[in-house]
Structures are given as C-alpha cells and as structure tokens.
Structure 1
C-alpha cells in the first residue's frame, strides 16, 4: 500500500491498493525502475508533487518576471546612471561605479536573510517589505544632488530593498516546477531584460524633457505599478520550515556545492563590467555621442529577453541545467575577448548583441543550475541566499576592479577586457569541476 498527497488538502492522504487504480499513484518501493544512465539528477526531491504547470504556477512566473524587472533590471541599467553621474558630478568612473556596485552587493548579500524568511513562510511579507524599501530609495534618488546622497539612496537603500524582493521569487517559482524548472526560472529571470529596457529608457529619454529628478520619479511610478502586480500574484506553495539556522553550514561540506559557488563567484566578478562600461567605451573608442550610446544598452538588454527562455528550454530538454550553465559561461568569455577588437560603430552594435545574448544566457542558466544542486526543496531559499551572499563580494568588487584597471592603463580598456575574459574562463572551468564531481568524467550526460 502506498500513499499519494491530495492536491487540494496537502495534510491528508489517499490509500491506493493498486498501481492500476490511479495513474497518479507513486510506485511501490520494490517496483522495478529502469535505470537511465544518460540522465543524472542532482537533487533528491523525486517524491515531491510538483504542479509543473497550471494557471497558479504560471502566475508565479509572471510575478517573478516583474520582480526581476526591478531586482535585477534596475541594477543592470546602472550604465545610464554611470554616464549621467560621470558628466554631472565630474568624478572618476571608478568612484561612480561604487554606487552601482554597492547596490548590487547589498542586493546579493541580503539574500541569505531573504531566502531564510521565504523558507520560513514569510515570502510575501519579505517581498512587500523589500518593495517599499526599494521604492523609497528610488524616490530619494530623485531628490539627491551630492555623491553621498546618491550613494545612500540608490546604492544602499535601493540595494537592500531589491535584494529582499529577489530571493523569495526564485524559491516560489522553483517550488511549482520540476521538469520545466529551468524554463520557468529562465522566463522569470527574463524580467531582468525587460526592466533593463524600461528603467534606462525612462530616465534617458525623459531627462531632456522634464529633468533628471522627475525622470527618476517616473521610473519610480513604473516600479510602483510592478510592485502592485507582483504582490497580487504571489502565492507561496511549500509548507514553511520554521526551524533551522539562518545559514546551512553543512552545505559547505558538500564539494559540488562549494565548487559551484566558487565558479559562480568568478563569473559574477566580471559579469557587470560590460553593463557598467559599454556606454563610456562606445563614447571613448567607437565615436558614439552620449545620446546614441544609450541605444547600445537598450539593444543589449532587448536581445537578452528571448535568450533566457531559450537556454532554459535547452537545459530542460537537451543539455541539463549545469551543462547549459557551463556552455553559457564559455560563450560569455568569448564575448569579452571579442570586445578587444571593437573600434567602430558598426562593430559596436554587433558586440552589444553578442554580449547581451551570452550574458543573459549565463544568468538565465545559473538559477536552474543552482536549483539542481539543492536536494531539499524546503531549503531552496536558504541555499540560494547563501550562494548569492558569497557572490555579492564579487559583484561589489567587479566594476571598481575594471575601473581601476582602466584608470591605471591611462584610459585604455584592453587589460580590463583581458581580465574579464580570463576570469570568466576560470569560472567556467570551476563549474565544470563541480559538474564532474556530480556526474564523473562522462561527457554525454544530461546534468
């Protein structure tokens, strides 16, 4: 006799005496299960009942898309602010980069707290609280006139709010999907591209008409609309895990998880370099004007929107999430090295398309790959948050590191581009080691 969970009443069970009585029955412990050596499952949550579709599940993907519009799209659009602050405040690019880097750092470092709150059953409350903090930071940015004011409003306040919003979205979406988890997470994370178009466009094209303060406020009102929609759609599914520590230290005793986090650290160390400096590079090297350079960031983010669902589909159907992440990271490294040869407007447009696609693929594949490393779904938020907290150190150091290399090189971007390419290659190799630890030396394995 076996038991299956009722979809409508998760705390009750239905006895099933024969596998033939119901197609939804779970197999007996002694049932023969044919091995499938071509597929390696990292997680151990096979017995959990995932909807893997339905209106409620896909509404969580929509909510996650809106959350990513703000939590990731806002940060990825800092290149617009970088250009404006550099011209208006007359400060070195490396110093301006600290605003965006601290915002992304806090966005990631707070994820351990946000992830544990989500696992404990406070996902909606965490998103609402983060939304209010992020909106406060955005509207305060519109009032700021000095560097320290912008740093506190856009760097600190907005960064903390966006981080609190981000992590619960991943845990909720992942709890509704298993077979199509990589695709669902990729569609959700595609909101990064959507937000990276909306927010910079709102600021850049409204500044000449209504000024910078009101342009930022208009972006804030767009964010307010997104906040209302996402909080209406969110519906956590898993039973809260009320006990347990803030940090699951035993995860750091698992070599695949630790190696995977190390590889992701190196990837994110270089990842935001392109977003922050593509506009200034186009003006300094490729003969763009400040106005025309804005289109590059918009194109970069636009081409990345379909790239994420595509890599998610390939990960679920053909490659496996970790394999997809490795290949995407390698492609991003190639884009960094290709950047060295860019010197004309036409090649610049080609580069931003290549970088936008490869960058979005790497970020889109990351969430599915990390989810596959988590054995217990009730610890999804905690383990995700731990990874993002470690990665936060890389995100805060990356753009200033690139800026310092550029300043030390007398304004040349060459060695910063080489640094980004090499670091990304090392990240791909490290993630490949984590994959080897899981599946062995087999190449033709979906993992």
Structure 2
C-alpha cells in the first residue's frame, strides 16, 4: 500500500512529547522513499535523516534523470535502498553515517558503467587522433605488406618453379584471412577483447614473417607467409578499424582515410626494402628486417589505440537481420565484385611488366612502388570528399573508373604506357580500399553492432579476395601466358561492383524519401 502524504505514513513521529521534532522536508523525503505499511521510528537521529534525505533529493528527486536511459532503473534501486535503510533504522535504532548515500553512489556508478551511452563521438582531440595514428601503423603493416605481395610473386615463381596461379594462392589466402577472421574479431571487439586480439595478432604476424625467412618449399611459404601472417593481420585490422570508427562521426571518413593511406606508405616502404636488401643481404635477412620494422611500429599502436565504447557482452557473432536491409545487401554484393578484381593488379603488375612489357625484375619493382604510392592520395582525397558528398557515392565513382581502367589494361604494352596506367589505377584502387571500411561503418549506425556488421562485410568480401587472383592466374595459364582474359575479368568485376553500389544508393534514397540522388 502506497501512502501519498507524510502524515499518513508517519502517524507517531510528529505527535506527543516523546521523540525528536523532525523537519517537514525530512518527513517528505522518507515518505516518498517508502512503499510499505505505516511504521514507527524508534529514536530517530535527525542528523542522519537530514543527510540521507539530501542525498536522495540530489540523486533521485522528481524529474531528475542523471543517467539518461537508466534513470528508471536507478529510481527503483534508490527506492529499494531507501526502504532498506529505513527498515534498518526502525530495527536497530542506529545507522552508520552516510550509509544510504554511499549505497546510492555505488549503485549509480554500477549503472553508469553498464550504460551503453558513452556520449557522442568527440570527432577530434588528442586522444582521438592518437587512435588514428595507432590504427595507421596497424594498416601500414597489414595492407602495406599485403599489397606488396607483387614483389614476391615472380620471385617465388622462379624460386619454386610453380605456375603463377599456385603462387597467387599464397597472397590470396593471406588477404582472405584478413577479411574472413574480421567477422569474428569484430564481434570480439564489441565484447571488449580488443587488447587480447591485438597482442594475438602481433604474435601470429611476427611468427609468420620470421618463419617465412626460413622457408624453402612451397608449403613452407603457404603456411607462414599465407596462413600464419593472414591470421595475424585478421586479428589486427578489423578491430583497429572498428575502434577508430567509434571516435568519429562527421569526420569519420576523413579519419578512416588517414588510416587507409598507410596502405600506400607501407606499399612504398616494403618494396623499397626488398629492392635494396634482397641483392645484398639475401631473402632471409630481408624478411627479418621487415619483421623488425613491423615490431617497432606496432609498439606505437599498442600505446595509442584505446577503446571508447563500453563492451557489449551479449549478442551473437552474426546479425543476419542486416541482410533484410536492401541497402546493406546491395552494398555487400557491390563490395564483393569490386574486391574480386582489384587485388589482381597488385599481385600481377610486376609479372606483367616483366613478361609482356619487357622490364627487368628490379625495374619492374618500381611499378609496385608507383602503384602503392599513388594510393596515398587515392586514399586521402576520396575520404575527404566523402564527408561532403557521401561515402557510397565516392565508392561508386572509384569502382566505376577502376573498372574502365581495368579494361584499358589490354592496350598497355609499352614502358611509356605502363607507368602512367599504373599511376592512374593505383589512385582509384586505393580509393576503393579506403572507402570500403568507411562505407561499412556508415551502414552500422548502432555502435553496439558496428563491429559485427563491419566484420560481416569483411567475411563476405574475403571470398572475393581469396578467389580473384587465383582465377586470374588460372586464366593466364589457360591462355598460355596471355593476360587478355584476366584483364577482362578485372574490368568486368569492378564495373559490376559499381552497379550494385548504385543500387544500394537508390534504395537508400527511397527509404529516406529523397527525390534525386541521396548523399549516402
């Protein structure tokens, strides 16, 4: 039974010569926190009651919701704790000073820690940009080294005497694992295991590169360079992207572009190291030196990347309801076809320039540096523009132009043509790789599910990354060394991907009720 008035709740506390006179606000505070039958106070201590009443007024007064969505829960907890305090006063006649206020503050802190409302992203500040720096070095080592696989493709073909399609599986498995493992590491990041994933990834990555230095047979390189390093990169890349995206809202695409441009810087540094060190110190020490560089840069990442959003322990590793959203589904299909073709160039450009154009292996390595170097502005410029015109809009443009460029590859047969073509394709291919995670992040507005949804896109794209280059290698072998079928495959895949991205944007516009082309 609930008593709305103080007089009905405390019939004996304000009558007679016995007892101590209580102030009206004390009575009202105790009455509002009590839902039990009327009772009598035994020897109340006014200074304790005054203190507890003030604490309650500050923490759970009418209309106050100090903890947002958890306000109702805190009110219930505060009323329960107040009843317990009143019962204790009634039974014992004494109460430790400030016990109720301490309990209320403890309950408030507990509810605050469990709240999924960390506030809006800061969109800047020292701490946020340090996270970008740390993620930049993660991407430097992951995609910078993966996009440099073209320098190893012809070397492994000559060393092992295997066809190009066999060697392409090493780079493709590495890329596949980065994306596929992202489906799981994204969810584990949401659960609060970023640090565990980070250090696990570092161990696998360094183990892979140092054991690759000792390799001599095909299966050695498949296990160390392909699988072991791929697992390490998978544990590093998706969590770093997911954490970075939670620090930004309006500037998210710019921040993601700054992270992604490290693919270009890493793609410049590692081929230069291979070119300079391989003839002088040999293959083993070239790989070990690269391993030491990766170790030093990831040490910076370990100190700068910090999580902002509280962990979400419950939930699955999949959010299949996302595929009920046509915009998300078309985006995944568009990204799949885009990545089916884009990595083929990174793996075969050195081989093509040597086999068709006639460059030496050393000079052909320059093309890998041009390809990755052009990707630095190719990752910054579109992401800067994406904050103004929409991420998916920029993705559509860059995938479409890359597809046209892929088809024009058929006409590139001279030294004077291969360098500008590589520069042009590198710029637009870099945009695809940087816009892709930013677009996936934009399609996951719920911070609690962002890691899961990004990971799901990554896992779908992983199939394309796994099969694209081996398919191109098989086409080259079937055509007896001719790259014509592979070139059509690259251009066609990218154009199909651009088409599905257009469909994703059209659906977004209809859902938002926008006439014309939406900013998505």
Report deviation, 1:204: 2.6
Report deviation, 1:131: 1.0
Aligned to 2:214: 143
Residue 152 of structure 2 aligns to a residue whose secondary structure is helix
CA deviations 1:316-339 (Å, max 9, x no partner) are 02x111111111111111210121
Report deviation, 1:165: 0.2
- Kept in 2, the 8 Å contact 1:328–1:365? The answer is no
Instruction: Measure the CA separation in 2 of the matches of 1:292 and 1:46.
Output: 55
2:364 to 288, 293, 298: 293
- The higher radius of gyration belongs to 2
Instruction: Measure the CA separation in 2 of the matches of 1:442 and 1:86.
Output: 54
Aligned to 1:266: 337
2:256 to 185, 188, 201: 185
Report deviation, 1:379: 1.1
- Kept in 2, the 8 Å contact 1:303–1:357? The answer is yes
Aligned to 2:501: 431
Residue 306 of structure 2 aligns to a residue whose secondary structure is coil
1:398 pairs with 2:398:
no
- Kept in 1, the 8 Å contact 2:378–2:429? The answer is no
1:374 pairs with 2:447:
no
- Kept in 1, the 8 Å contact 2:243–2:306? The answer is yes
**May I ask how many residue pairs the two structures share in their alignment?**
409
Give the root-mean-square deviation of aligned CA atoms: 1.8
Structure 1 stretches of 4+ moved >6 Å? 1-6
Report deviation, 1:200: 2.1
Structure 1 pair 3/292, CA: closer, same or farther in 2 (3 Å)?
A: farther
1:202 to 240, 252, 273: 273
Report deviation, 1:253: 2.0
Residue 413 of structure 2 aligns to a residue whose secondary structure is coil
2:153 to 82, 88, 91: 82
Aligned to 1:413: 483
Report deviation, 1:4: 8.7
2:290 to 219, 222, 231: 219
Aligned to 2:519: 446
Instruction: Measure the CA separation in 2 of the matches of 1:3 and 1:233.
Output: 34
Query: More relative contact order in 1 or in 2 (CA 8 Å, sep 6+)?
Result: 1
Unmatched 5+ residue regions in structure 2? Answer: 1-62, 69-73, 75-115
Residue 246 of structure 2 aligns to a residue whose secondary structure is helix
1:109 to 180, 191, 198: 180
Structure 1 pair 442/139, CA: closer, same or farther in 2 (3 Å)?
A: farther
Aligned to 2:230: 159
Aligned to 1:27: none
Unmatched 5+ residue regions in structure 1? Answer: 7-11, 13-44
Instruction: Measure the CA separation in 1 of the matches of 2:122 and 2:303.
Output: 20
1:341 pairs with 2:411:
yes
